[in-house]
Amino acid sequence: MIHSIVKPLLAVLAAGLTLATPAWAQKKVIVGNFGDPAPFEAAAAEGRFNKATGWDIEWRKFNSGAEVNAAMASGAIVISELGSVPLAAGASQGVDYQLFLIGKAIGASEALVVRNGAGIDKPADLKGKKIAVPVGSTAHFSLMGALRMWKLGDKDVQVVGMSPPEISAAWSQNAVDAAFIWEPAQSKLLLNGKLMITAGEVGKAGYPTFNGWVVNTKFAQDNRAGLVAFIKVMNEINEDYNKNTAKWTADSVPVKSIAARLGTTPKEIVNDLAGATYPGAAEQITPEWLGGGAAKFMKSTADFLKSAGRINNAADDYGKFVNADYAKAAAAK
Report all structural domains of the chain as residue ranges with CATH numbers, in order of start.
Answer: 6-105+209-331 (3.40.190.10), 110-204 (3.40.190.10)
Tell me: pLDDT of 332 over 80. Answer: yes
Tell me: pLDDT of 85 over 60. Answer: yes
Enumerate residues 6+ apart whose C-beta is below 8 A from 168.
185, 188, 189
Residue 333's pLDDT band (boundaries 50, 70, 90)? low
Per-residue confidence (pLDDT) for residue 312, from 0 to 100: 94
**Helix orientation angle between 84-92 and 138-149, rounded to the nearest 10 degrees:** 100
Task: Indicate yes or no: pTM above 0.85.
Answer: no
Per the document, the length of the chain is 333
Average pLDDT over residues 260-286: 95
Tell me: pLDDT of 23 over 70. Answer: no
Average pLDDT over residues 160-170: 96
Do 195 and 73 contact (CB within 8 A), yes or no? no
Residue 27's pLDDT band (boundaries 50, 70, 90)? low
Nearest to 253 by CA among 239, 236, 241: 241
One-letter amino acid at 284 equals: Q
Alpha-carbon gap, residue 278 to 102, rounded angstroms: 8
**174-229 per-position pLDDT tens digit:** 999 999 999 889 999 999 999 999 999 999 998 999 999 999 999 999 999 999 99
Beta partners for 178? 114, 131
**109-139 per-position pLDDT tens digit:** 999 999 999 999 999 999 999 999 998 889 9
Alpha-carbon gap, residue 120 to 197, rounded angstroms: 13
Enumerate residues 6+ apart whose C-beta is below 8 A from 183.
36, 37, 109, 110, 268, 272, 275
| Residue 118, CA distances (Å) to 76, 273, 298 in order | 41, 29, 35
Mean pLDDT, the chain, integer = 91
